[in-house]
Chain A
Amino acid sequence: MKKLVTVLGAFFAVLLACPLSVFAAEGSKAPSTVPVWLCIPFAGLLLCIAVMPLVKAEWWESHQPLVVALWIILMVVPFAFVYGAGKTAETVLDCIVNDYLTFIILLFGLFCVSGNITMEGDFAGSPRVNVGLLALGTLLASCIGTTGASMLMVRPVIKMNSWRKRKGHIMIFFIFMVSNMGGCLTPIGDPPLLMGFMRGVPFFWSLHLFPVLIFNMVILLFVFYQIDKRSYRKDIANGRKPDIRKPGTQFRLDGLHNIIFLVMIVGAVILSGVLPGMSAFQDAAGNVRGIHLFGEVTLTFPALIEIVIILLAAFLSFKTTDKQIRIRNHFTWGAIQEVAVLFIGIFITMQPALMLLKAVGPNLGVTEPAEMFWATGALSSFLDNTPTYLVFLTTAGTLAFTNGITTTLGTVPTKILSAISCGAVFMGANTYIGNAPNFMVKAISDENGVKMPSFFGYMLWSVAFLVPVFIIDMFVFFL
């Protein structure tokens, strides 16, 4: 505990030494400044997620909701002091209704439906099989979303590699590729691209990112193959061997009808992007219609439709699938519960940081594609990548370019749009909290005998293997 107090103390001291507030863009409404110290609860929560499982694992596991609630209170009370109770309630409610609710329901729906599909077979996880699975998952992510592909593929990957001792790296590269990178080809793939689509970026424009994805896939799969080969050889040398006594491979997918519900969920996500642009869902002023809740907070009808469809799909999936499939899949609520608890804290405490980003983002002087790539990416590693993407897309739109993709935010050159998209989608893989499926994959792996690295341990992997790839990306595509 002493160690934790020292680390926390040092961290706060550094933060408090920072400028106390950052001035918002000229012309913005009061309050004109966003105090930097309001971001302390967010940093504190992240630090808890990173450090607590290492120093006090069991206590952390049973007290997560309390800790998260504490950090939320520590953010809300000072926020109310600075901005007033009304503005605080509006900010928190807006965050819960418009960001968190759709986020967690989408995750919940995909978690439920994919948990009802199980693979029975005796394929043995070997480097080449794993490379194939990762490649398949990466490409699938653009069709059914990174979360959908992650939830669908994570259990078969764990199962095929259950004979092996060293398998943490497989799940790490799974997070790199299936849970993040793979989502760059379509707006269905990752929420930031859906936001771009809603702002006028053509649906199939993201296919322009295919060369970047293939380039990264080739590098990462090659590196993965080499690492996996070494681990595979060590496992064999230690006497591990898969059960392959029967000649020929048995392979069967049970609960396959759940693909229909998966398609339903993907359809709901697409609708949530398409419906707001339709006149039937807009009022006279062009605002999206919905149920007014408080202040300027409205639960829009497209969001409501999305929620209803997803929940219906999850319900039908449970009703129509044999319970035995879930048991064989080791389906538990633990993973989704952990993500739900941690991410409500992250979403709420993140608000001052996002406000700060919105205030200073346009004034950062970021104008070049490479700068956009790193700025979007670095912030997406810790913050929600959707608002980060929007901030930089808006910034790019205000730079008065005349050639490029015409969006509702202005014209954005293809190279800059590619850089922002890649930064937001790819660099969510840098940390466990960079993208929702990351934590889900970690939690499911933890429950199924896979030793996953700690928060910082995972970051070491991303620094060692992802950041060099991003540097190469910058030189090849964004300079």
Chain B
Amino acid sequence: MQDNQEKCKELAIRIYNLDEEVYKCVGSSLGRTFTGQKETTIRHLAALMYTKPDGHLLRSELALISNMARTIRDKSERRRLMIEYDSILKEIESLPDTFGKTDIVDKARISLNNLIARRQNEISENDHLIICISRTQGSGGNDIGFELADQLQINYYDAEIFDQVMKRLQADKNAVSDTGNFERFDKYRKKKHTDLKTWFREFNRYHGLPKQDAVFFNMSDLICELAKSEDCVIMGRCADAILKNNHIPHISLFISAPFQVRVQHVMDIRNMNLKQAVRFLKQMDKQHKKYYEFYTGEKWGKPENYDLCINSANYGLKDTIELIQRMLDQKVH
């Protein structure tokens, strides 16, 4: 089984390298077949081979490379790359049909789990302890995250991430409406009237992308950079999904509490009456959900998407932090 997996990975690397070489030989600037990240693409290709050795998806991906390879002007290069292409095809065809039958473990996901990866020594010295915390408003998630980072003596990122992204985009900080809780995020809400000049300026600044998407893309880069360089706690920002897509090991937590408890918490800390607090929480939940689902395609708060889901009301802030720490202490250290 392990041999087969290794074989698939090796073939996937060869396919990726072949595409890279073909694109280089063609000299085109229109984009290669695999434009995604190397690591992700290789895993995707290996998964295609591992689960569907004769699947049409893999075949059509390969066909796109061969289409491009056939247009290489240099005959000897074309011949060399087509020989490599044929050899890869033959090896794929020789893969056994049945080796894809495995147990229930999601191997792609498990290798991203910081705890298990550390235990199985699948994590390198360069990988860091990254804790991604998603939370509902009023569940005390921010306090838990902040305190946890403090106790673990690692960095805590929330609004800071946005600040750095904005610096990178050279945007006017005052123009940033989102301060960390997605209060203004709503892609479908009718936007305020902007004049043509502003529209063109933003269009140019954000490469033709909607501002929120451009910010998200830059934020994704920044989260990946942080995760590769230090241990940290990252609050929200779809960080769990971003790190998963970029194949960076992390621990993902979802912290919530019953609605009534959250209402009480919000009333206490925000000086709101019951009606205001209920309205505020419903709106926040809706916007959190919309943001998360828009950028990740996953259901926000769905237990399957996280390593651990905690009802903070069952423990209180202090014990929730202790619970998480205990889990980390036992497994990590």
The residues of A with any CB-CB pair to B shorter than 8 Å are 57, 118, 120, 122-126, 128-129, 155, 158-165, 233-234, 236-242, 244-245, 247-249, 327-330, 332, 334, 446-451
**B75 nearest CB across to chain A (Å):** 14
B70 at the interface (CB under 8 A from A): yes
Chain B positions within 8 Å of A329 at CB level: 28-30
CB-CB nearest in chain B for A118: B29
B30 touches A162 (CB 8 A): yes
B295 touches A244 (CB 8 A): no
A122 to B26, CA, bound (A): 20
A241 to B217, CA, bound (A): 6
**B291 nearest CB across to chain A (Å):** 12
| A163, A329, A448: residue with the most chain B Cβ atoms closer than 10 Å | A448
A275 to B170, CA, bound (A): 58
B296 touches A162 (CB 8 A): no
**B22 nearest CB across to chain A (Å):** 10
B214 touches A451 (CB 8 A): no
**A132 nearest CB across to chain B (Å):** 8
Q: List 14 A-B contacts (CB under 8 A).
A: A125-B208, A155-B30, A159-B30, A233-B294, A236-B295, A237-B298, A241-B220, A244-B214, A249-B208, A330-B29, A330-B71, A448-B68, A449-B30, A449-B64
A126 touches B208 (CB 8 A): yes
**B302 nearest CB across to chain A (Å):** 14
Q: Which residues of chain B in 199-223 are interfacial with respect to chain A, using CB atoms and an 8 Å cutoff?
A: 203-210, 213-214, 216-218, 220-221
- How many A-B residue contacts, CB cutoff 8 Å? 126
**A120 nearest CB across to chain B (Å):** 7
B208 touches A239 (CB 8 A): no
B71 touches A334 (CB 8 A): yes
**A131 nearest CB across to chain B (Å):** 11
A163 to B68, CA, bound (A): 17
CB-CB nearest in chain B for A126: B209
The residues of B with any CB-CB pair to A shorter than 8 Å are 26-33, 35-37, 40, 60, 63-64, 67-68, 70-71, 168-170, 203-210, 213-214, 216-218, 220-221, 241-242, 244-246, 294-298
**B12 nearest CB across to chain A (Å):** 16
A334 to B72, CA, bound (A): 11
CB-CB nearest in chain B for A154: B30
Chain A positions within 8 Å of B203 at CB level: 249
**A242 nearest CB across to chain B (Å):** 7
**B51 nearest CB across to chain A (Å):** 17
User: Given A118-B29, A233-B297, A234-B297 in contact, is the A129-B60 Cβ separation under 8 Å?
Assistant: no
Q: A160-B208, A162-B35, A449-B30 are in contact. List 17 more A-B contacts (CB 8 A).
A: A123-B208, A159-B29, A164-B35, A233-B297, A237-B241, A237-B295, A239-B244, A241-B221, A242-B217, A244-B206, A244-B207, A247-B170, A248-B205, A329-B30, A330-B29, A447-B71, A448-B31
Chain B positions within 8 Å of A247 at CB level: 168-170, 205
Chain A positions within 8 Å of B295 at CB level: 233, 236-237
A244 touches B218 (CB 8 A): yes
**B262 nearest CB across to chain A (Å):** 28
Chain B positions within 8 Å of A244 at CB level: 206-207, 209, 214, 217-218
User: Given A233-B294, A449-B64 in contact, is the A242-B31 Cβ separation under 8 Å?
Assistant: no
User: Given A163-B31, A233-B297, A239-B242 in contact, is the A123-B207 Cβ separation under 8 Å?
Assistant: yes
CB-CB nearest in chain A for B28: A330
A120 to B28, CA, bound (A): 12
User: Given A237-B295, A330-B71 in contact, is the A449-B32 Cβ separation under 8 Å?
Assistant: yes
Chain A positions within 8 Å of B37 at CB level: 239
- Among A125, A233, A245, A327, the residue within 8 A (CB) of B28 is A327
Chain B positions within 8 Å of A159 at CB level: 29-31
**A446 nearest CB across to chain B (Å):** 5
**B81 nearest CB across to chain A (Å):** 15
Q: List 3 A-B pairs, minimum CB-CB distance, nearest first.
A: A162-B31, A239-B245, A237-B297
CB-CB nearest in chain B for A123: B208
